[in-house]
Amino acid sequence: MFRRENRMAKSTKSGKKVTTKIARRRKASESRTTPGTSLHTSALGLEQPKPVSVRAFKAKAVTSLTIASGAAPEVQTIIYVHGIGNKPPASVLKCQWDHALFGTQLGDRSRMAYWVNRDYYPVPSDDTCADGDLVQIDDDEISTKAIMALAAGKPTNEQQAIENEIKSLTDDKARQNWLSALSDKMMASALVDEKAIRNRLIKTEAVSARVLPLPGFLRRLITQKLTRAFLRDVNDFFFHRDRQEVMQQSLVDRLNAGGGPFIIIAHSQGTMIAYNVLRQLTKDECDVRLFLTIGSPLGLTEVQDVFRSWVGGGQLRTPECVTRWVNVAEWLDPVAADHDISDDFDPAGAIENFDGFLLNPDSPRHPHSGTGYLRSAPVRRAVGDVAGNAFGHAVGKAVITKDLAEDLENAFRGERHTALIQLTTPSEPGPLGQVTLSDVHKQLTETITELVAESGDTLNEANIEPLKRFISAKLTRLEIEKLRTKYKDLQIERIWRDAAKTALINQSTHTIQARPANLGYGAMGRDIGWAVLDTGIRADHPHFELFENVAAQWDCTKRGKPIQVTKKESAVLDKNGHGTHVAGIIAGRYELPEKIEGPTILFSGIAPETKLYGFKVLDDQGNGQDSYILKALDSIADLNDEAGKLVIQGVNLSLGGAFDPSVYGCGHTPLCQELRRLWRQGVLVCLASGNEGYALLQAAEGEIPANMDLSIGDPATLRRRLQSDRSTSRTRIPMASRTFLQEDQRPMAEGNRTW
């Protein structure tokens, strides 16, 4: 539809526009052949941009990064480059773009080249994923006074603000004039009267002539605000090389990680950043199957003249690395004031151009909206043609888990993240010759070591921890994304966030009737070994003296293999108290006199004679991470294997942490997988449940997943939490919790019941 409208629009454009374009191309041609001629940009004192270098990480094995089986999409990764103005954190902005284009989050299948200048915008906008990238510029300043002034044709503070903005950006007169010319070009797009708009709507048959955009004075106000934001960022890009390098590097980093072929979608000024990077790359360096520009200023004469000066005055060309270039422009978008760029880049006509009135669904109120463009038919059709249907499936393949991918988006360049890399046991020789799990460990460790060396950091900063079926390491975003690219070569199953864990305090009661079992059946725990994965056990506590319960302890919080502590160290291993508290519930016995020469009070563990094996997986503040726990579980399995019998018959984990159930299926976390292996060995697993609940908070911007201090095993706690939250938001309770509520929403009677 829009392709046909585009052709009609071209045929109805004035001869002046066509003549201007022909003259521009003739001028560029003359500048290449006539000695001594120079473009007017010579007065701007432009520096040549720093050359970019992309060394995209490439895999040996040919495999899909986006689907587990079936026909693989043509592309493996989409890279977004955002436009002008302030933005929310990168993960939120990427989520907005994902949802606008595909209706779901893509996880590691998409990346955001994020370059917001925090000198202009110190605090990210507070938008959520449910909002759109509308590019709202100081909308709270649109006062009744300003609207009335515009309606009466009087000057506004916003007009003066543009002039002040230009003066504050540079003292150079030539650059001020250049910015003013750019501003005038953008403002001219808002001066078209309503009658002209109606006529153009009728000619293009795009929409009904009765549909009229905002009144002219409101369109001018919106244009003025967009112009201010655009001038700030375009001034940085063309006249401040250090800021230009930051903008370009945001894209170069995402390309260097590999994972191509790519689709690159750039909005607003992001199209200038992307074009300046891609024009310097070959197909072998970077394979871009689709370059999609939306709301682009690349058609503006002033912008093209600067690019020509950078390429030696020649005609601008379509980047060699790009297979297909599609440009989409809304006629009411002032940033894309020159809507048709199809003949502005050699070879002429190579760019597919789609433009029209109300093409952007958020127009006319937000004609430059990034997410509006992404929802438009031409954009979705172009992406669908190249990516295919499978690429955007909600349940897609992910090498990097969604929560870790979000952390990577929000990270500073060079920031390290605790990652847990799950390995695949080879069923046949791997692409790099791996035959055993030990080979996989060795190859991956060598690769990580090389990546860390390339970054200029030391191995100590990476903190590489080989486990049995995992490797824990602190890696940068670039390093993690490079591992994704070569996941098949390196036999990686998945890269998880090495999630934090904390101690969970619980009280023991007599409701499980342990005392009758002790007396009636002699169930004292004799010849039973139990592992306590916690903050350690204070072995010299009098509670454990009678039966000498603490058999051995290991510290798993230090780098390397678990360290078995000495008897002296074991006495002071637990500086938190939580592990000793938990161990005292399981085993041990102590009689404390209630009064001098009076009766004693018996403090007894559930199975007093049980031998305890302590594994310190939480530090002295009660905090730990998944990799510490996995080290302990590996050690327990090895102890039982080496003894040829179950030395440790059970494990206790009174700990937990925040979680996102959308990241993995129930029972498929790294800990669940390793605990299942231990269970198959015959080991009983006991772990904390219900101390922290999961709920969806219904707010104005949509549903917000949250870990909350409510327990699905304690109806009274649940009811109190519901009552306390009712005044601020509506809470949707997970189905597991609803089973504890009667129809009248009152909690079931509390008593000696185990849920």
pLDDT band at 70 (very low <50, low <70, confident <90, very high): low
Alpha-carbon distance of 340 to 290, in angstroms, equals 18
Burial of 482-493, coded b for 16+ CB within 10 Å and e otherwise, reads: bbbbbbbbbbbb
* C-alpha distances out from residue 30 to 43, 229, 494, Å: 19, 34, 56
Alpha-carbon distance of 9 to 7, in angstroms, equals 5
Phi, psi of 416 (to 5 degrees): -100, 145
CATH superfamily of 2-61+77-136+240-391: Alpha/Beta hydrolase fold, catalytic domain (3.40.50.1820)
User: Which range, 47-61, 552-566, 586-600, 713-727, has the best average confidence (pLDDT)?
Assistant: 552-566
Alpha-carbon distance of 717 to 565, in angstroms, equals 40
Q: Is the pLDDT of residue 3 over 90?
A: no
* Domain 402-498, classified CATH 2.30.29, yes or no: no
Alpha-carbon distance of 556 to 424, in angstroms, equals 24
Least confident of 25-29, 202-206, 444-448: 25-29
pTM: 0.79
What pLDDT digit, counting tens, does each position of 657-676 carry?
A: 877 777 766 677 889 889 99
Whether omega before 261 lies within 30 degrees of 0, making that bond cis, reads yes
Each domain of the chain, given as residue ranges in start order, spans: 2-61+77-136+240-391, 139-236, 402-498, 503-687, 693-738
pLDDT band at 200 (very low <50, low <70, confident <90, very high): low
Q: Do domains 2-61+77-136+240-391 and 503-687 have the same CATH topology?
A: yes
Is there a contact between 606 and 521 (Cβ–Cβ < 8 Å)?
Answer: no
Q: Is the pLDDT of residue 511 over 80?
A: no
pLDDT at 158: 61
pLDDT band at 690 (very low <50, low <70, confident <90, very high): low
Q: Is the pLDDT of residue 707 over 60?
A: no
Q: Is the pLDDT of residue 14 over 70?
A: no
Give the residue-averaged pLDDT of 432-437.
90
> Hey, what are 128's tokens?
């959520």
Alpha-carbon distance of 558 to 256, in angstroms, equals 33
pLDDT at 742: 31
What pLDDT digit, counting tens, does each position of 259-300 carry?
A: 989 999 999 999 999 999 999 999 999 999 999 999 999 999
Least confident of 98-102, 103-107, 588-592: 588-592
pLDDT at 258: 92
**How do 693-699 and 702-708 pair as beta strands?**
antiparallel
- Which fold does the domain 503-687 belong to in CATH? Rossmann fold (3.40.50)
